[in-house]
Amino acid sequence: MLWVDHYRPRSLDDLHYHEGLSDRLRSLAASGDFPHMLFYGPSGAGKKTRIACTLKQLFGPGVEKLKIDQRVFLTPSRRKLDVNIVQSNFHIELTPSEVGNYDRVVIQEILKEIAQTQQVDLNAKQRFKVVVINEADSLSRDAQAALRRTMEKYMSNMRIILCANSTSRLIAPIKSRCLLMRVAAPNPAEMKAVLSYVASRAGAGSIPDEAADEIISDANGNMRKAILVFEALKMQTPDLSGPLSIAKPDWETYCHKVADMIVKEQTPQQVMEVRSKFYELLSHCIPPTIILKTVADRVVERADESLKADIMHWAAIYENRMRLGNKKIYHLEAWVVKVMSLYKHFLFDIDMTGFED
């Protein structure tokens, strides 16, 4: 088993950082007056872990007996939808955004079903069941609207825990019905503590300071990534001494290569080269937003101070258009051309005032 999974905290007492949050969760679970909750924070900060721990605190070890089900839902137009559902006797976990625009159907069916059945197990600690909805921020508006009244109406039988990266895309009525729980990314000291804990549990002895710092700065607050990298490094060089090279994923190096190409030469031929590289990345299913962000970050590092703001400005604009548009490659390319022209103008000192748009 991977270290990330193996050493994942199982109960609220095992959690390493955000003590205040854990205390709150513990007392909420004990009070019997458990609200709907919304966990949000960057990825790898430990949202899911906290949800699992809270569930365990609520219902005892029974929640860890999971079964995975595939359920079939019918849309009003008789189309079949397959949804994977993880459930225990006390809770049910699903990712409705898997089915795209039909997520409303899934939400309605599942919630009504859960809401209308009472807990039959007399030994259960709580009278309600919990529905965990992952990736709540990619729920469609319809699905969110469907949640609204249900959350109030069936409060006696059911609690909802939403898990999202950001609250920006959740509609206000949902936010106002939940207790918001912000799970911030751990700071470097906290990450270091976790890494050394994992190291000692895994029988790897202690982790050298330089290695830990290296891993932490690479992970950028993502605990999951940090532990994965740590395990990989451990496999490469068992004693973790000497200069470490954290193997960057190959798409990242590839993106950096693209960025260097943009900075090096600004010609139509180069655009074609970059384009083929982008196609390569896209065909390996690297999300276009990530490509754009990684390349932009790298270009900005190389570029002159006066250009940086403009480069990021156009990255933001084209990233947004990419979401609205259909063909991702157009917008990636457009951005590259834009950046190259900015560069050229800067190098040859051409007045840009006429070309603001």
Partner 1 sequence: MAANFFQVKPSAKKAGKEKERVVDPNLQPWVEKYRPKTIDDVSSQEHIVAVLEKTLSSTNLPHMLFYGPPGTGKTSTILALSRQLFGPDNFRTRVLELNASDERGISIVREKIKNFARQTPRAQAVASDGKSYPCPPYKIIILDEADSMTQDAQAALRRIMETYARITRFCLVCNYVTRIIEPLASRCSKFRFKPLDSSSTTTRLEHIATEEKVAVTPPVISTLISTSSGDLRRAITYLQSAARLSAASNPVAPITSRDIQEIAGVVPDSIVNKFAKTLGIDIPDAVDEYGDVEMADVGKTSNNTLRGFDLIREEVRGLMREGYSASQILTQLHDLVILHQTLTARQKSSCALVMAEADKALCDGADEELWILEVALRVNKAVNS
Q: Does 259 bind partner 1 (CB under 8 A)?
A: no
Q: Which of 71, 175, 275, 338 binds partner 1 (CB under 8 A)?
A: 175
Q: Which of 315, 336, 340, 342 binds partner 1 (CB under 8 A)?
A: 315
On whether the CB atoms of residues 181 and 58 are closer than 8 A, the answer is no
Q: Does 324 bind partner 1 (CB under 8 A)?
A: yes
Q: Does 31 bind partner 1 (CB under 8 A)?
A: yes
Sign of CA dihedral 313, 167, 216, 229: negative
Q: Does 334 bind partner 1 (CB under 8 A)?
A: no
Q: Does 176 bind partner 1 (CB under 8 A)?
A: yes
Q: Does 193 bind partner 1 (CB under 8 A)?
A: no
Q: Does 16 bind partner 1 (CB under 8 A)?
A: no
Phi, psi (deg, nearest 5) at residue 23:
-60, -45
On whether the CB atoms of residues 161 and 51 are closer than 8 A, the answer is yes
Give residues with Cβ within 8 angstroms of 253, minimum separation 6: none
As measured in angstroms, the least distance from the Cβ of 142 to partner 1 is 7
As measured in angstroms, the least distance from the Cβ of 172 to partner 1 is 6
The tokens for 13 are: 């007492």
Q: Which of 16, 125, 256, 293 binds partner 1 (CB under 8 A)?
A: 293
- Whole-angstrom distance, CA of residue 216 vs CA of residue 147: 38
Crossing angle of helices 188-201 and 223-236, rounded to 10°: 50
- Whole-angstrom distance, CA of residue 266 vs CA of residue 264: 7
On whether the CB atoms of residues 162 and 147 are closer than 8 A, the answer is no
As measured in angstroms, the least distance from the Cβ of 314 to partner 1 is 9
Helices (H), 10-75: 19-31, 47-59
Tally helices (H) and strands (E) across the chain: 14, 7
Q: Does 81 bind partner 1 (CB under 8 A)?
A: no
The end-to-end CA distance of the chain, in Å, is: 53
As measured in angstroms, the least distance from the Cβ of 184 to partner 1 is 5
User: How many other CB atoms are there within 10 angstroms of residue 29's CB atom?
Assistant: 19
In what side-by-side order are the strands of the sheet with 80-87? 67-74, 80-87, 91-94, 129-133, 158-164, 37-40, 179-182
- If the CB atoms of residues 45 and 258 are measured against partner 1, the closer one turns out to be 45
Do the strands 67-74 and 91-94 form a parallel or antiparallel pair, or are they unpaired? unpaired
Q: Does 27 bind partner 1 (CB under 8 A)?
A: yes
Name the segment binding partner 1 (CB under 8 A); options: 88-96, 257-265, 310-318, 349-357. 310-318
On whether the CB atoms of residues 230 and 198 are closer than 8 A, the answer is yes
Q: Does 79 bind partner 1 (CB under 8 A)?
A: no
Q: Which of 74, 247, 316, 350 binds partner 1 (CB under 8 A)?
A: 316
Phi, psi (deg, nearest 5) at residue 70:
-115, 120
Q: Does 108 bind partner 1 (CB under 8 A)?
A: yes
Q: Which of 173, 270, 334, 345 binds partner 1 (CB under 8 A)?
A: 173
Q: Does 32 bind partner 1 (CB under 8 A)?
A: yes
Q: Does 96 bind partner 1 (CB under 8 A)?
A: no
Q: Does 313 bind partner 1 (CB under 8 A)?
A: yes
Q: Does 35 bind partner 1 (CB under 8 A)?
A: yes
Binding site for partner 1 (CB under 8 A): 23-24, 27-28, 30-33, 35, 40-42, 45, 76, 108, 111-112, 141-142, 145-150, 152-153, 155-156, 166-169, 172-173, 175-177, 179-180, 182-185, 220-221, 289, 293, 300, 305, 308-309, 312-313, 315-316, 319-320, 323-324
